[in-house]
Amino acid sequence: MGWLLKRNESETAEADAASDAPDHPALAGLGEPELEAVRAASQVRKFAPGDVLAEAGLPDPALFLVLEGEVGLLCPRGDRLDLAGTVGPGGTVGGPVHPARPPRSTAAVARGGVTCLVLAAEDLAALPEGPMAALSRGLAAVADGRAEALLTREAETAGRTLAVARRARALLEQRQAVCEGSDMVKKIVAGVPALPMYASRLAAVLQEDQSSASDVVGLAKLDPSLAAVVLKTVNSPYYNLQNKVTDLQHAVVLLGFDQVYQLVMAAGMATTMPNTPEFRELQLHANAVSFIAMEVGRLAGVDKPASLATLGLLHDIGMSVVLLLKEQYPHLAVFLGMLEPGKLGSMLLERWQIPPAFCQAVMYQHHPDILPPDELPESCRNQTAALYVAHLCYDHLRGRSESELPVLFLPEYLEAAGLQAPDLETLVRRRLLPALAQRRANFPEPMRRFFTECENRLGPR
């Protein structure tokens, strides 16, 4: 019987060599001479859980053909490493050293037991031309297959993410509809003290194409309370200036149009809410976001950074209303907690006759957490993007890392806001903080203190 026939010695040797050959897709197309050369230049190595195969920031020490187990690719994020992907059996880590090839961007670490066929950099360089060319073709085929699989997985993930985001949007819009359709909510909004006339007029002036510092002075002539607010605030401990400012024109020259505009709007907002610790904290938050938003506008090169400062001041007015209502109607706390602050704020701003662009951006301010920019109305897309980025910067300055924040579509929103930065950390440390430091001397005392504390918390750049 055939299966009892004894093989000759040459057949046995060839079979044993074939069984010793590592089973990896990159070697599948190699002939026996090429495979023998690769086998002679390599070694099979086992790695324990946590063993580092390659470090981030350094050239690849070797080519690792993964035979068993899983290798994690860890991306540096500040003082820690985040898992960026994995390489399983049939995958590769590292490759031939090339002068034009940049250092690794990820660290490769064994996740559990891992077995690899390892070709050290010097052994790869010493491979004859024929085996090296055959191995390169095999590696390219593996890379192509992996790239195609990644693209397919990315498309599937993007589809699922967008479906979840749209469901979240539907739930958010349901909460907005509760605000818009409730007679009780409308009655409550109507009871909130009106924004001073000078603040509403100034917000309208800012939307005009040719607005300038002279418009602030012109408004003050029509409404003396505007000049009174500016001079009272500038000369108070809030600014802590060494020399007294005697007229509005002097204040505009000293602080600049954007700064005076921000001051006026902040003072107007303060008159609408009670002077309690909760509201003072919310006002401090709004002022900080306002200063950041104005600087974001400058960094992005927008025509009127002060308009983004206004948006920062107004963005949490809906939350202020919720707090006010909970104080007045404690028995309705559960219902009030279900209201959507963005929509509530937008309704109040419409009642105050604030320009529609501000109202829309306030209403859509939470959408960037769950939706890409192209899902937002074009009329408020750029303003909403700038407000979203400014709020992320504020949260980061307060000590929250990027991984803790809603940054699913951050690259798209940076682009929509007109900003260039690879990540939030770089934007804050390399661009925002230096820009704020240049203007800090003209900031109100609370803002100077706030940004100084944030810089100290983040440490040296």
First-to-final CA distance of the chain: 79
Mean pLDDT of the 48-64 span: 91
Same domain, 233 and 377: yes
Q: Look at residue 82 and tell me if it is in a domain.
A: yes
Mean pLDDT of the 223-244 span: 77
**Per-residue pLDDT, 152:** 82
Q: Look at residue 85 and tell me if it is in a domain.
A: yes
CATH number, domain with residue 353: 1.10.3210.10
Q: Look at residue 208 and tell me if it is in a domain.
A: yes
Q: Look at residue 113 and tell me if it is in a domain.
A: yes
Task: For residues 424 and 146, give the distance between their C-alpha atoms in angstroms, rounded to a whole number.
Answer: 29
pLDDT at 4 over 60: no
**Per-residue pLDDT, 252:** 74
Same domain, 335 and 242: yes
**Per-residue pLDDT, 1:** 31
Q: Look at residue 159 and tell me if it is in a domain.
A: no
Same domain, 198 and 128: no
Spatial CA neighbour of 259 closest among 290, 225, 296: 290
- 230 and 264 in contact (C-beta within 8 Å)? yes
Same domain, 207 and 126: no
**Looking at the 3D structure of the chain, how many domains does it have?**
2
pLDDT at 380 over 50: yes
Same domain, 129 and 210: no
Spatial CA neighbour of 358 closest among 369, 347, 373: 347
Q: Look at residue 175 and tell me if it is in a domain.
A: no
**Per-residue pLDDT, 428:** 94
List pLDDT tens digits, range 354-371.
888 889 999 999 999 988
Q: Look at residue 210 and tell me if it is in a domain.
A: yes
Phi, psi of 398 (to 5 degrees): -80, 0
Domain of 86 in residue numbering reads as 18-94+105-143
Same domain, 129 and 193: no
pLDDT at 253 over 80: no
Same domain, 90 and 239: no
List pLDDT tens digits, range 268-316.
777 777 778 888 888 889 989 999 999 999 999 988 888 898 899 889 9
pLDDT at 9 over 50: no
229 or 5, which is more confident:
229
Q: Look at residue 174 and tell me if it is in a domain.
A: no
DSSP annotation of 89: T
Same domain, 77 and 223: no
Residue 204 to residues 138, 198, 208, Cα–Cα distance (Å):
66, 10, 7
Same domain, 121 and 233: no
